[in-house]
Structure 1
Amino acid sequence: MTRWRPPAPRSTAIITREGFERLKSELDHLWHTVRPEVVKALAAAAAEGDRSENAEYIYRKKQLGEIDRRARYLSKRIPVLQVAESGPTDRSAVFFGATVTLENEATGEMVVYRIVGPDETDAKRGWISVDSPMATALLKKHVDDDFEAQLPAGPTRFCVVSIGYP
């Protein structure tokens, strides 16, 4: 008996130019630098004898699998990505690529987000996916617009303080 799983939700295939170049650079680095080093270390570990008890061999084999998995993903993903070369014509509203400053209406806390593609999100930098609930709620909003976003902590109200584009 096989278990049925619903298909994974499709992510938007849009990306900034710098994000696209970063992914291409990562793929190149994996194939030409990291993978050859791991293969060399794997061969050295394999030459040591009994592979069933060789921790170095087991670790390198696992590491090689992770590298190959990421490289395979990038090789399939990069060709389908669409690079957003220019910003929107209406720069007074929130669209892909915008950097937005928001005020949490309950706490008064200010937060800054940049709306990017799903392949380049970075929570530490405040880069959120265009597919995220926050970005979805933000799209087409203008300065001084109030809106509600469904966050993990529950519905939260925000006010758009500023909008900028690189």
Structure 2
Amino acid sequence: MSQDVSPDEHDDLDEGAEAAPFRRYLTRAGAERMHRELLQLLNEARPKVTAEVSAAAAQGDRSENAEYIYGKKRLREIDRRIRFLQRRLDTATIVTPAEQSDRSKVYFGATVTLEDEDGERTTYQIVGSDEIDASGGRISVESPIGRALLRKAPGETVEVRRPRGEIELTIVDIRYD
């Protein structure tokens, strides 16, 4: 299921282009995190809430039973999240960054070290929209920074328009771990 994403396959994610709505990428690690969450919901959370709802229903009048009403609401939320995760995992293209053949430029899954105008360095991994974790250093390929970095090489400088204004970032290093 792993796929090497060549430069030609990034046409829909090129700078300034809209990401194709039908083509969703996930890193192998991101897919594994989503799969673990799905299993936890199916094997732990849903059975627990189902048991709580059954116990609350056994108490009688359901119309004013807060535990029953809340449990049913929580069960719907869990089921909605399960369906969402299943759809995402079924339709996503799984990319293993370590298998990227062209390591000279930034593509999906790359870990990029950047230097800003003040000489401060930051490292981000370019990931899918379902994997975003800014505090963990994972930014979306669809974000302004992610789009600006695609197909760029070390030493190149990109200009990124942010809500706080424009910033210039220089690519220091690219890794595919």
- If the TM-score is normalised by the length of the shorter chain, which range does it land in? 0.7 to 0.9
Please tell me whether residue 129 in structure 1 is matched to residue 140 in structure 2: yes
**Counterpart AA for 1:40:** A
1 CA distance for matches of 2:88 and 2:108? Answer: 19
Q: Is the 8 A contact 1:103 1:109 kept in 2?
A: yes
After superposition, the C-alpha distances for 1:69-108 in whole angstroms (9 at most, x for unaligned) are 1011112221111111353322121111111111121x33
Unaligned ranges ≥5, structure 1:
1-8
Quick one: which of 161, 164, 167 aligns to 1:153? 164
Aligned equivalent of 1:41, options 52, 59, 63: 52
Once the two structures are TM-superposed, the CA of residue 48 in structure 1 deviates from its matched residue by 2.3
Q: CA deviation at 1:155?
A: 2.0
* Residue 66 (1) aligns with residue 84 (2): no
Partner of 1:104: 116
TM-score by length of 1: 0.85
Give the fraction of aligned pairs with identical amino acids, expressed as a percent.
48
**Aligned residue in 2 for 1:19:** 30
Q: Measure, in 2, the Cα distance between the counterparts of 1:87 and 1:133.
A: 25
Q: 3-state SS of the aligned residue for 2:167?
A: strand
The answer to whether the aligner puts 1:162 opposite 2:173 as a matched pair is yes
Mean Cα deviation higher: 144-153 or 64-73: 144-153
**How many angstroms apart in 1 are the aligned matches of 2:149 and 2:104?**
13
Q: Counterpart of 2:94 in 1: which secondary structure?
A: strand
4+ residue segments displaced more than 6 Å: none
How far is the alpha carbon of 1:11 from its aligned partner? 6.9
CA contact (8 A) 2:100 2:176 kept: no
Q: How many residues align structurally?
A: 157
Q: Deviations over 1:3-48 (max 9, x none)?
A: xxxxxx8274111112212222221221122101100011112222
Q: Which has the higher contact order (CA 8 A, sep 6+)?
A: 2
